[in-house]
Amino acid sequence: MTTESTPNTTNEVGETTHFGYKQVATEQKASMVADVFDSVAAKYDLMNDLMSMGIHRVWKRYTIDCSGVRSGQRVLDLAGGTGDLAAKFSRLVGEKGQVILADINREMLKVGRDKLRDKGIVGNVDYVQANAEALPFPDNHFDLITIAFGLRNVTDKDKALASMFRVLKPGGRLLVLEFSKPTQEWLSKVYDAYSFHVLPKMGQLVANDADSYQYLAESIRMHPDQETLKDMMVKAGFDNAEYFNLTGGIVALHRGFKF
């Protein structure tokens, strides 16, 4: 199973990058990813529960546990989608803290905002439509940045990591929760069979959209593996970069600090 990221390449028609297993013009990828999430936004939470059999909640809880967030701190939940992490961070930082739920996709941001407001979470959560590659925040601004299941959809991951490093305070930490490479060959085979044969059918049945879930399965395979992503974080300036494999490496939580 291949999880190495395919680098951008240049040919007669300009730069290209991967969109799942396809090569597309670099400038087109963001809009193509946006189309995917426009399509899946309404059923996103339901599909997360079905696809992971609810285990995504355990992965997110582990992320919260590793965050070290305290009352009064400022948190950026990047690619925050429907707000699962932002809701928990809102309670942890309290009235004197701030959580910004940011997502490049307007539909996902709308779903997240409505969901949190329905839960009565108001006051210390703000919503910003933002591109991870060019974050619209001051330098040294956040105590914590999280990005859960979003980095693999970013066109230029190195640029995004550099942008996150810029807006993180000295002493702050970055947590990247993302699908990764299973550590056992038998698990890779089972995971591949599930991803490419079950998920698209589930997407068609529940969300009436097999193609988007085919892309999501492919995007996982094209995402950098654990060691590669760790090296990318170090290159961006993060100290003490490390990762923790979850569910046999199907998911990994990467953590890095800015000193």
Give the DSSP per-residue string, the chain: ---PPPPPEEETTEEEEEETTEEEEHHHHHHHHHHHHHHHGGGHHHHHHHHHTTTHHHHHHHHHHTT---TT-EEEEET-TT-HHHHHHHHHH-TT-EEEEEES-HHHHHHHHHHHHHTT--SSEEEEE--GGG--S-TT-EEEEEEES-GGG-S-HHHHHHHHHHHEEEEEEEEEEEE---SSHHHHHHHHHIIIIIHHHHHHHHHS-HHHHHHHHHHHHHS--HHHHHHHHHHHT-EEEEEEEEGGGTEEEEEEE--
Here the tokens at position 237 are 């300036």
Whether 2 shows a pLDDT value over 70: the answer reads: no
On the question of pLDDT at 223 being above 70, the answer is: yes
Give the range among 16-20, 56-60, 112-116, 171-175 with minimum mean pLDDT. 16-20
State the binding site for S-adenosyl-L-methionine.
82, 103, 131-132
- Average pLDDT of the chain? 90
Enumerate residues 6+ apart whose C-beta is below 8 A from 160.
Answer: 132, 133, 151, 154
User: What's the mean pLDDT in 118-145?
Assistant: 96
pLDDT on residue 80 = 93
Q: What is the pLDDT of residue 7?
A: 42
Say what the pTM is: 0.88
**Between 224 and 206, whose confidence is greater?**
224
56-60, 126-130, 193-197, 211-215, range with the lowest pLDDT: 211-215
> Which residues are documented as binding site?
82, 103, 131-132
pLDDT at 14: 57
